[in-house]
Structure formats: structure tokens, C-alpha cells
Amino acid sequence: MAPKKTPLADPVKEQPSECPAQAASAEPLAPGKTTTSRRDFLKAGGMLSLSSLMGAGALMAQSDEARAAIEWAEHFQGNYRLMTPKEKAEARARLEKRYSAEYGKKVTVDGTEAQPNVLMGYALNVRKCIGCRRCVKACVAENNQSRGKEAGQNIEWIQVLKMERGEFSKEKMNQGYPEGLGIQVGGNAYSPAGTVLEGQYFYEPAAVPEKDATYMPIACMQCEKPPCVKVCPVRTTYREPDGVVVIDYNWCIGCRMCMGACPYWARRFNLTTPVLPKEEMNPVTHYLGNRPRMRGVVEKCHWCLQRTRQGRYPACVEVCPVGARKFGNLLDPESEVSLILARKNVFRLKADLNTFPKFFYFYD
Amino acid sequence: MQKLMSFAPDYFYYILKGGMKFYAWMGFLAILSAIALYGFYLQNTEGLIVTGLTSQIHDGLYFANLVFLVGVAAGAVTIVFPAYVHHHKAMHEVTVLGEMLAISAVIMVTLFVLAHMGRPDRLWHMIPFIGIYNLPGSMLGWDVLVLTGYLLLNFVCGFYFLYVKYSGGTINRKFFMPLIYVSIVWALSIHTVTAFLISTMPARPMWFHSVMPIRFIVTAFAAGPCLIILIFQIIRKNTKLWIQDEAINLLSLIITWCLGIALFLTLSEVVVELYARTEHADGLYYLMFGLHGLTRLVPWFWGSLIAMIIAFAMFLTPGIRTNYKLLPIACVLAFGGIWVEKGMALVVPGFIPTPIGEVTEYYPTMIEVMMTIGLWAMGFFILTILLKGAIGILLGEVRFGGAAKSIDSASSGKTAAYESR
């Protein structure tokens, strides 16, 4: 039980198992194969009329013919979850080609499927967090979020909420409510004292932790019963077998129902084409993870699928200077996260909503 | 078959001809629509960043109008129901006009959906078989289903009736009446599901209560007939079709009580939320008094409440209700009040504060406002066409075999008008 134990399977074992894993994961799709071919058939016929409409737009916008052809093909690809392994590989290859040309470097789009016997989990020590917000910055750098100057071009998946410590003093004893009616309710109790989920998340002090402040980092909770998945009209967001809620950015219609349904404000909308400088772009990507997004789609934290499915920690866990963030396999009783759940005082955020997050908070 | 073949040309020919007033109105609407198309182009090249939407408040003017217009569409049932269930004679004569309004309102809803979406080019992802249609899970999926059904029902009922009237046949009641009854229940369903769309999200406490569907329905049955009365009065003034007073009087009676219930439900919500004043009431508190110094919606809320109360008092007074000079004022007040209350004042505070307690405000941009006006213009464009065709058939000016005659009468009518000028 070394603290730095690889969260999932160990890398040596994982490497050779990559191909069989993909083949194995294709098996559950096999019964649906007939559906897939019918879908293709219908698509070929039914899409002709649409193609004239959308094709014109796609071609006009692109000067580069090859890029146009790729985007053209992207327009008509199906939902990633229902693709055959071959279609998935083709979709990724297409993206690799386009991204490599766009960002001027070799970009890989990984498609590693969920590994068997893995249920990812996360635990955060609220006592340890010092509010340095390095996780926020690391997340943006790792996951290719938009980082423009204008409002609406900045997307961050993690918020470290800063909450004031309350100050109870003799002077405040009579500052109750309602005042002047002869009836006294409260007093000091109306002072802020870590009011749950009412805090600032943009702050840049000279030094952290600040006096009189506590911190509460939040991000996507990867719920076991995710309200966002239920409301999605096209099933573009879904739960993967290893527990992570992902989005097929190419299938999202941008209706934003999921954003309304999320009780943790974890989802972000690409109001415009994401601003992602070439030199800052992270070329190691996953199809359901950190690959560059497009205008008009929703995105959120996916626990760095491009890392965690390769046996690495998420960027936020790696960067945390105080070790407040822990990540691992909930099905492995010896994993760090499992041990925390077994031994520490653990709670989930907004547990009353029955979303069953796999993001746990704990304190020593 | 021959009748059917000549129906379309006769119908469209009748629509196309009109006086200066008609062309000026349609031209005006067309210009506004063109501006909306430009806005739509911007939204789909620049992105929704040209609107005032943010990741905090991601549904705004478009969603608000969408919700409101579903109500207008459902409101058409206030004509159909008395006509076919209570055999109200005056209503029965003009039922088809209500169906035409329902068709236009649903088309407007579709337009606002397209404006609202981040990727309208991917709408085909929702089409069953070639895409994925998430039923029964997604409430939005249900909403699309019931709205499409309602559009089809009204289209079939409306145009079947018009066609029979045109060809001089009799209505096949075995086919027609079941559809009418289904459409009455269906009208309730569209607004119920639209209410469920937002009231099934515990993440948004302001919407998360079961009064929402009935509140939606009563406001719809108040706002819808308000628009219908205004349209009826315009029709009475500008066409030869005389809509009887009884029809208008019944509609104002329906408005009176639906508006009364709507006010009652609003006040109930205020009492329940503000008595305990939990954090879940922050949205309503923001709307009524502002939160953390942000008060942008406060005048809208009180303005709409006052407008609705004045309108209710006016409708309640028989002397005003039957005074057709004052009635339009009451209708405009009620319609405007409900538009604010059920639109912006319902949708936007749902996002204030956000689920993590952040209080931000929503500033619709010029493009958003122009888009909204333009999409309403498109809707009125379609409504004018549909109403004109329907009125022509109801008047008997368009009928099978009467095409040649009607051209003569039209040309003579035109010269007469010309001479009189």
C-alpha cells in the first residue's frame, strides 16, 4: 500500500492488454450490429437531402479542401458509443489528421476503452486544501480548455470556492433580524461561517492560505445516477463502464439541458470556437477526454481519461502540492481511495439529491 | 383528386393577392425576419457568444419565448374546446382560426429552438433510427414528441376542415371528431411537458415544484385567448368575416378566471417560498427584490404583476369586458404581463444563483433582441398567411369551381377600391 501506487492496473500489465481490451469491449456492441448497419443504410439515403444543405456551409467555411473533407465526414459520423471498433478507429484517425494540421504538431487521439474491474473514484481532503488553485491551472493546461481574453472564452472545470470564516463577537450579539420589532432572531449567527457553496472562485492573493478563509474545491462529481445523462435528448453524454461520465463532443447538439440539470455547476458551454494557442495545446488526447472541442458544445471534467486509462493520475491529483487530492479504483479494496472511504470521515456533496457522486470529501 | 389538385393553387392565389396594407404588413415582417436570419448566421459562425448567454445563465430570451409560445399554441384549445365539447355556435364558426394560430405558434417554437441550440446543424441527431432519441429518459425528447404531434394534429384538422369547406363536401365525423378530441387533450400535454422540462430539475430549486404545470396551463389559457381576441378584432375590422360577439365574450370569460388562478398561484408561491426563506428561495427573492445588489429583473417582475392585476380587474368588470374599445387594452396588459412572468422572469432567475451560489445577471445583446423580434415577425408572417387562406375559405371566396369567378370578382373589387380612392 505504497501511497504512490498506480491507481488502476499497473502499467506493465496494461500495455499488452490494450488490444484485447478493445476487442472485448466491442463484444457488448455485437448484438446491436444489425442496428448499426441499418443505421448506415438509412443514413446514406436520408442524409442526401441534408448533405446539400450542410455541405455548402462546411465547404464555404474551409479554405483547405482536405480539412473540409474531414469535417464533412465528421458531420455524418454516428454516436461514438454505438460505433463499431473500426468506425471508432476511423473517427479517431480523422481527428488526428485534422488536429495535427490545425495545431502544427503530431496529435494523438486515444480510444482506450474502460478496463474491466475498474470503478474510478476520487477523494478530497477539505482540511488540507490551501486554495492555491494550481489544480485549476493544471487542468486547463492538460485538458485543452478555451483560454481567451473575452468573457465567455475562459473555461475552467475546477472551482476552488473560497469561504469566509465567521467572526462571532460581542458587538454583533444584537445584530439580529428582524430588528426594531422587539423580537430578536439570531444575531451573531447571521455572520458568514463557511456557508455551504456560497463562495468566490476567482481570487489571486499574494500568499495562500489566506487568513480567515477555508477552501472547497469542486468539479464534476461523476455521479452514479447523473441527472445530466438522464436529460440528454441524444444520449451524447453517458456513463462509461469505469464510472466516468463522458461527452461525445461530435454528437452534442448544444441544447444545454445537461447544464440545467447538473446540481454541481460542473458543465461548461463553448460559446464560441475555443481559443487554444498552438504552442499550449496538449497533443496527447482521448476521444472522450481532452481532445479540442468545437463551438456550441458542452464540456466538463472527465478525470483525465487520456491519463487515467493509461494508469496515470489526473493532472489535478498530480499537481496538488499538499496531497489533498486522491484518486483510485473503488473496486480495489487496497487502493488509496478505498482505504480513505473505509477509515476517514467521508461525505458527498448535496447527498440529498440522490446523485451518488464518486467524488468524496473527507477530513482527518 | 381534381379538387385536391386545384385546392393548393386556389389557396395560394387567394393569399398572394391583397391590398397595399397587406403588402406593407408582410414587407415589414419580411424585413424583420431578414434581420433575424442575419443574427442566425452570426450565431452559427461566431457562436452564441454574440448573445448575452454565459455558462452561468445559459438559457435566456430564446428559451423564455419558446416556453411562452408553447403556451400560446396550447391556448388555441380555448376555441376548440367550447366549439366541439360545448357546441358553442359562435366559436364553432371560427374554430379553424384557432387551429391556424396553433400551427403558427408551434412553428415559432421550432424557430426559437433553432435559435437556442448551440449546434442546429446537428438536429438530425434527434431523429429516430438515423440518430438517437432518448426516450423515455429525456424530457426534452418528450417535448419534441408532443409538439410535433400537436403540429400534425392541428395541420390535419385545420386543413381537412378547410379542404372540405373548399370542395363543398361534408365532414366525415368518424375521422374528424376523434382527432379533435385527441387534439384537445394533446394541447394540455404540450404545456404540461414543457413545464416538466424545467420543473424536473432539483438542481434549480426555483423551478422544482409541482405547481409549475398547472401554472403553465392557466397562464397559457389566459395569454393565448388574449392574442386570439386581438386577432379577432383585427379580422373584424379588416376583413369581411364577422366574428360574433359571443365568441369574444366567452374568450374574455375564460381569460378572467385563468388569469385569476394564475395570480393566485403566483401569490401562493411567494408565500411558500418567502415564509421559510431558505436558500432555495434565492431565485424568487432575486426576482422580487434583487440579490447582492443585483436588481435587473425587479422592475420587470413588479411591472408584470401590476399589469396582470390591472388586467384582471378590467376583465372582472363586465362593463369593460364587453366594451370592445377597452378590451384590447386589458388583453395587451395580460398578454404582456404573462410574457414577462412566464418568460424572462421565470427562466432567468432559475439560474440565479447558480447551484454553487454564484449571483450573476443576464444582459441580452442587441443581436438577441433583434433575433427575438425577427422570429416573432416570421411567426406573424406565417400566421397572416394561414389566417388569410382560412378566412378566404370560410367566406366562400375560395371554393372549388369558383376560381374563375373569384378572379373576376377580385379584379372588379380591386377597381372598385381604386375608384373609391
User: What 3-state DSSP class applies to B28?
Assistant: helix
Helix (H) or strand (E) holding B24: helix B20-43
pLDDT for residue B182: 94
**Given A198, A234, A298, which is nearest B132 (Cβ)?**
A234
Amino acid identity for residue B18 in this structure: G
User: What residue spans define the domains of chain B?
Assistant: 10-402
**Given A46, A57, A254, which is nearest B117 (Cβ)?**
A254
Residues of B in contact with A151 (CB under 8 A): 54
* Strongest mean pLDDT among A47-56, A66-75, A112-121: A112-121
B19 to each of B27, B31, B241, B397, B421, how far by Cα in Å?
12, 19, 16, 16, 12
- Between chains, do B201 and A251 touch, taking CB under 8 Å as contact? no
pLDDT for residue A180: 53
CA-to-CA distance for B402 and B395, rounded, in angstroms? 12
State the maximum Cα–Cα separation within chain A, in Å, rounded to a whole number.
Answer: 78
Residues of A in contact with B134 (CB under 8 A): 232-235
Residue with cell 459520423: A77
- Using the predicted structure, report yes or no on whether residue B235 has a pLDDT greater than 70: yes
Which one has a higher pLDDT value, A260 or A184?
A260
pLDDT for residue A19: 37
CA-to-CA distance for A256 and A271, rounded, in angstroms? 11
B65 confidence band (pLDDT: 50, 70, 90)? very high
- Between chains, do B126 and A234 touch, taking CB under 8 Å as contact? yes
**What value does the mean pLDDT take over residues A207-221?**
89
Min Cα separation B75/chain A (Å): 26
- Using the predicted structure, report yes or no on whether residue A37 has a pLDDT greater than 90: no
Residue in B with minimal Cα distance to A267: B55
- Between chains, do B119 and A257 touch, taking CB under 8 Å as contact? no
pLDDT for residue A197: 53
- Between chains, do A252 and B122 touch, taking CB under 8 Å as contact? yes
- Between chains, do A234 and B125 touch, taking CB under 8 Å as contact? yes
Residues 6 or more apart whose Cβ sits within 8 Å of residue A18: A112
- Between chains, do B140 and A231 touch, taking CB under 8 Å as contact? yes
Helix (H) or strand (E) holding A237: strand A237-239
pLDDT for residue B405: 47
Around Cβ B185, how many Cβ atoms within 10 Å? 9
Question: Best mutation site among B43, B207, B356, B359 for testing chain A: the one with the most A CBs within 10 Å?
Answer: B356
**Given A151, A231, A253, which is nearest B122 (Cβ)?**
A253
The three cell numbers locating residue A259: 447544464
Residue in A with minimal Cα distance to B205: A263
pLDDT for residue A71: 80
pLDDT for residue A70: 79
Residue in A with minimal Cα distance to B138: A231
Q: What is the pLDDT of residues B171-193, one digit of tens each?
A: 898 999 999 999 999 999 999 99
**Given B120, B201, B353, which is nearest A260 (Cβ)?**
B201
CA-to-CA distance for A79 and B59, rounded, in angstroms? 25
Is there a contact between A160 and A325 (Cβ–Cβ < 8 Å)?
A: no
User: What residue spans define the domains of chain A?
Assistant: 11-124+220-363
Which one has a higher pLDDT value, A59 or A349?
A349
- Between chains, do B49 and A152 touch, taking CB under 8 Å as contact? yes
Report the percentage of chain B scoring pLDDT > 70.
95
DSSP bridge pairs for A345 = A363
**Given A150, A236, A262, which is nearest B203 (Cβ)?**
A262
- Using the predicted structure, report yes or no on whether residue A3 has a pLDDT greater than 60: no
- Supply the ipTM of this predicted assembly: 0.87
- Using the predicted structure, report yes or no on whether residue B419 has a pLDDT greater than 70: no
Residue in A with minimal Cα distance to B358: A198
Min Cα separation B279/chain A (Å): 10
- Between chains, do B119 and A297 touch, taking CB under 8 Å as contact? yes
Min Cα separation A42/chain B (Å): 6
- Between chains, do B47 and A235 touch, taking CB under 8 Å as contact? no
Question: Best mutation site among A201, A231, A359 for testing chain B: the one with the most B CBs within 10 Å?
Answer: A231
Min Cα separation B277/chain A (Å): 13
Q: What is the pLDDT of residues A90-128, one digit of tens each?
A: 999 999 999 999 999 999 999 999 999 999 999 999 999
Task: Tell me the DSSP string of B350-379.
Answer: GGSS-TT---------HHHHHHHHHHHHHH
**What value does the mean pLDDT take over residues B292-318?**
94
The three cell numbers locating residue A364: 482527518
B9 confidence band (pLDDT: 50, 70, 90)? confident
User: What 3-state DSSP class applies to A113?
Assistant: coil
pLDDT for residue B168: 86
Residues of B in contact with A154 (CB under 8 A): none
- Using the predicted structure, report yes or no on whether residue B389 has a pLDDT greater than 80: yes
- Using the predicted structure, report yes or no on whether residue A39 has a pLDDT greater than 70: no
Answer whether the bond into residue A292 is a cis peptide, omega within 30°: no
Residues of A in contact with B140 (CB under 8 A): 231, 233, 255, 257
Q: What is the pLDDT of residues A323-363, one digit of tens each?
A: 999 999 999 999 999 999 999 999 999 999 999 999 999 99
Min Cα separation B77/chain A (Å): 28
Task: State chain B's mean pLDDT as an integer.
Answer: 90
- Using the predicted structure, report yes or no on whether residue B24 has a pLDDT greater than 50: yes
Name the phi and psi angles at A108, rounded to 5: -105, 140
- Using the predicted structure, report yes or no on whether residue B147 has a pLDDT greater than 50: yes
Task: Please report the number of interchain residue pairs, chain A to chain B, with beta-carbon separation below 8 angstroms.
Answer: 160
CA-to-CA distance for A148 and A154, rounded, in angstroms? 6
A232 to each of A204, A235, B131, B205, how far by Cα in Å?
36, 5, 13, 20
**CA dihedral of residues A261, A264, A267, A269 (deg, nearest 10):** 80
A201 confidence band (pLDDT: 50, 70, 90)? confident
B272 confidence band (pLDDT: 50, 70, 90)? very high
The three cell numbers locating residue B342: 412566464
pLDDT for residue B248: 94
Min Cα separation B396/chain A (Å): 39
Residues of A in contact with B130 (CB under 8 A): 39, 42-43, 46-47
Radius of gyration of chain B (CA): 22
pLDDT for residue B396: 87
- Using the predicted structure, report yes or no on whether residue B283 has a pLDDT greater than 70: yes
Min Cα separation A14/chain B (Å): 33
pLDDT for residue A57: 47
Residues of A in contact with B203 (CB under 8 A): 227, 260-264, 353
pLDDT for residue A276: 94
**CA dihedral of residues B159, B165, B167, B172 (deg, nearest 10):** 80
Residues 6 or more apart whose Cβ sits within 8 Å of residue B80: B95, B98, B99, B180, B183, B184, B187
**Given B119, B200, B356, which is nearest A197 (Cβ)?**
B356
pLDDT for residue A141: 95
A281 to each of A101, A127, A276, B244, how far by Cα in Å?
13, 33, 6, 69
Check residue B85 and report its DSSP letter.
T
Residue in A with minimal Cα distance to B136: A230
The three cell numbers locating residue B39: 443574427
Min Cα separation A1/chain B (Å): 36
Min Cα separation B152/chain A (Å): 21
Q: What is the pLDDT of residues B376-386, one digit of tens each?
A: 999 999 999 99
pLDDT for residue A24: 37
Residues 6 or more apart whose Cβ sits within 8 Å of residue A127: A363, A364
CA-to-CA distance for B79 and B175, rounded, in angstroms? 20
B409 confidence band (pLDDT: 50, 70, 90)? very low
- Between chains, do A82 and B116 touch, taking CB under 8 Å as contact? no
Residue with cell 396550447: B74
State the maximum Cα–Cα separation within chain B, in Å, rounded to a whole number.
Answer: 72
Nearest to B315 by CA among B230, B257, B256: B256
CA B391 distance to own-chain centroid: 20
Residue in B with minimal Cα distance to A231: B138
End-to-end CA distance of chain A: 19
pLDDT for residue A205: 84
**Given B124, B126, B132, which is nearest A50 (Cβ)?**
B124
CA-to-CA distance for A200 and B358, rounded, in angstroms? 8
User: What 3-state DSSP class applies to A22?
Assistant: helix
Residues of A in contact with B138 (CB under 8 A): 230-233, 257
**What value does the mean pLDDT take over residues B222-231?**
96
- Between chains, do A231 and B117 touch, taking CB under 8 Å as contact? no
pLDDT for residue B148: 94
CA-to-CA distance for B218 and B191, rounded, in angstroms? 10
CATH of B10-402, one of 1.10.3720.10, 1.20.1630.10, 1.20.20.10, 3.40.630.30: 1.20.1630.10
Min Cα separation B374/chain A (Å): 21
**What value does the mean pLDDT take over residues B43-65?**
93
Min Cα separation B62/chain A (Å): 12
Buried b (16+ CB within 10 A) or exposed e, B366-384: ebbeebbebbbbbbbbbbb
B60 confidence band (pLDDT: 50, 70, 90)? very high
pLDDT for residue B198: 93
Residues of A in contact with B109 (CB under 8 A): none
pLDDT for residue B100: 95
Strand pairing report for A120-125 and A325-329: antiparallel
CA-to-CA distance for B269 and B263, rounded, in angstroms? 10
Strand pairing report for A237-239 and A325-329: unpaired
Report the percentage of chain A scoring pLDDT > 70.
74
